[in-house]
């Protein structure tokens, strides 16, 4: 059976039951949370409130992909839910095909482009894109993972990025509202709602689409506006957000 089949079955069953799925980051050394349906194992850190630091995961503190390949052996054998690998596509030391094969052999059910250039902007992003290490490279990685039978969850932050990922045939989209959302979620929720509704209208109602969650009131608004939404991915710790 292809690795992605377990995740596909989970998503399809939840949709048939009208049940919302919840996902969360899993960092090295953390215990698998009991209240989630799927996890993304990734390199990174949390702030004092337990919230995942999206930007720090892209900074070159360490070998991000090497950590993902080595630090989750216990989780892969003990966690009762599917685990996807958060992969840095800009890795200069690993050829994409070999990297994906290593991910598959480890037992991961899929991949997510995390860390991602989708969360960067300004001159930094311009420079990285010009060097060929930007978002298009992430799409190339996802295409290889798809061909290897892994579930591909594409993190995007704009309609343009969504189109790029849809063009390579990813299995699902995760729309991030941008870093500014985490600083002022109440002010930004209306903009995010407009963006994700617009994205939902561009794809089939059966296509898996995930939103990022911050607070219970936002979950209610998103779920009400998007009845076909497959689920949520924790922008903050699920305990702090009260998401589940």
Per the domain annotation, does 204 fall within a domain? Answer: yes
Per the domain annotation, does 17 fall within a domain? Answer: yes
Rounded CA-CA distance 243/35 in Å is 10
Q: Give the residue among 137, 170, 131 at the shortest CA–CA distance from 154.
A: 170
Rounded CA-CA distance 211/218 in Å is 10
- Per-residue confidence (pLDDT) for residue 47, from 0 to 100: 65
CATH number where 113 lies: 3.20.20.70
Per the domain annotation, does 213 fall within a domain? Answer: yes
- Residue numbers in the chain where pLDDT is lower than 70: 45, 47-61, 179-188, 214-216, 235-244
Rounded CA-CA distance 162/169 in Å is 11
Give residue 193's Cα distance to chain centre: 18
- Per-residue confidence (pLDDT) for residue 214, from 0 to 100: 61
Per the domain annotation, does 202 fall within a domain? Answer: yes
Per the domain annotation, does 158 fall within a domain? Answer: yes
For 244, half-sphere exposure in the C-beta direction (CA atoms, 13 angstrom radius) is 18
pLDDT digits (tens, 9 = 90+) for 160-177: 999 999 999 999 999 988
Per the domain annotation, does 191 fall within a domain? Answer: yes
Could you give the 3-state DSSP secondary structure of residue 94?
A: coil
Provide the domain limits for residue 137: 3-234
Per the domain annotation, does 241 fall within a domain? Answer: no
Structural domain count, the chain:
1
- Per-residue confidence (pLDDT) for residue 243, from 0 to 100: 38
pLDDT digits (tens, 9 = 90+) for 120-160: 777 878 887 888 888 999 999 999 999 999 999 999 988 89
Q: Which residues contact 13 (CB under 8 A, 6 or more apart)?
A: 19
Instruction: Round the CA-based radius of gyration of the chain to a whole number and report it.
Output: 16
Q: Give the residue among 180, 241, 183 at the shortest CA–CA distance from 215.
A: 241
Per the domain annotation, does 194 fall within a domain? Answer: yes
């Amino acid at each position: 059976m292809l690795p992605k089949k377990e995740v596909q079955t989970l998503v399809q069953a939840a949709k048939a039951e009208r049940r919302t799925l919840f996902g969360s980051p899993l960092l090295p050394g953390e215990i698998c949370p009991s209240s989630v349906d799927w996890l993304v194992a990734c390199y990174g850190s949390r702030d004092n409130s337990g919230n995942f630091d999206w930007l720090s995961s892209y900074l070159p503190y360490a070998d991000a992909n090497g950590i993902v390949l080595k630090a989750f052996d216990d989780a892969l054998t003990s966690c009762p839910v599917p685990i996807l690998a958060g992969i840095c596509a800009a890795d200069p030391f690993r050829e994409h095909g070999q990297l994906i094969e290593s991910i598959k052999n480890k037992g991961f059910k899929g991949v997510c482009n995390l860390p991602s250039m989708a969360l960067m902007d300004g001159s930094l992003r311009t420079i990285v894109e010009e060097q060929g290490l930007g978002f298009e490279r992430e799409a190339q990685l996802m295409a290889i993972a798809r061909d290897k039978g892994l579930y591909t969850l594409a993190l995007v932050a704009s309609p343009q990025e969504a189109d790029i990922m849809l063009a390579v045939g990813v299995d699902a989209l995760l729309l991030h509202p941008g870093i500014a959302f985490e600083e002022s979620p109440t002010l930004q929720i209306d903009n995010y709602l407009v963006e994700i509704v617009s994205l939902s209208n561009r794809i089939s109602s059966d296509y898996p689409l995930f939103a990022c969650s911050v607070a219970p009131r936002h979950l209610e608004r998103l779920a009400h506006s998007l009845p076909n939404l497959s689920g949520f991915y924790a922008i903050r710790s699920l305990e702090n957000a009260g998401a589940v």
